[in-house]
Structure 1
Amino acid sequence: MFAKELMYQLPTGDNETEDPKRKLIVFSDSREDAAQIANGIERNHFTDLIREILVKELHSNLMFRYKIVNAFDNGYITTQQELKEQSQAVFDEIEYLVENANYAGTNANRLREKEIAFSKLSEIRSLTLNVRSLVHITNTLDLAPLIKHFISLGINPGGNDISLQTKLFNGNFVPCMNLLILKIFNGRTGQVRNILTN
Structure 2
Amino acid sequence: MAYNWNVSEPKNDQKPKFEIQPEIYSIIELNGENRTYTCDFRPNKVEKYFEAKIDRNSIDSLVKGVDLLSKEYKSVIHYDSNIGCIKPLPILKIKVNYSDNTSKSYYYNFTENEKKYSSIRNLYRSLKIIEIGETYHKIDINSNLENKKIEFIKKSMKEDTTAFPKPRKLVFEVEG
TM-score bracket for the superposition, by shorter chain length? under 0.3
TM-score, normalised on structure 1? 0.18
Give the structure with the larger strand fraction. 2
TM-score, normalised on structure 2? 0.19
Bigger relative CO (Cα 8 Å, ≥ 6 apart): 2
